[in-house]
Structure 1
Amino acid sequence: MRLPTATVDLVLGFISGGSLLVASIVSFYLAYRSSITTLRVLSLLLGLFALAHGSYHLLFTFIIGYPARAFLDSTSVTVLIIFALYYSKRGGLA
């Protein structure tokens, strides 16, 4: 029995997707444990971005390819823009 060969794209897609999913877990945990409302919302938005973008990388690499770009990529960009707007109003830049 022969194992499938792992290409560079497959390995890098798995590493980037997995690391973003782990980062989302850390952000969600910080949002759960924080008592500061602004930090809680910022951590939640950053966690949502990492979850959507990590899912995009994994699905694009392993399963569905370009249809993942239509939904998950646009979702992650939208959440990142909302994060930036919220940070500019409440995070200390305003």
Structure 2
Amino acid sequence: MGNKTKGLLALLGLGALAYWKYKNSSPEEQQAVKDKINNAKDNLNKWGSDLKDKANNVASQVQEKADEFKNKAQDTVNKTQETYNG
């Protein structure tokens, strides 16, 4: 048996044991497990949206810098044209 197979069997064994423990625990304990899972989900979702917000902030800052740079370049071009034309 390869290491992957052993690892998979160990994982399945742990899953089965956890399921058996869950099925044989009191409703209060089952609720506690559900709460833990829901909390983990909420934290993941919050983390995901925080990341999205940060990414959006960075993107808008980059856009602002690009616009600023473009405007400066345009001003320079305009001033240069005025100098030659004036």
TM-score (norm 2): 0.35
Task: Return the structure number with greater relative CO, CA threshold 8 A, min gap 6.
Answer: 1
Structure number, greater radius of gyration:
2
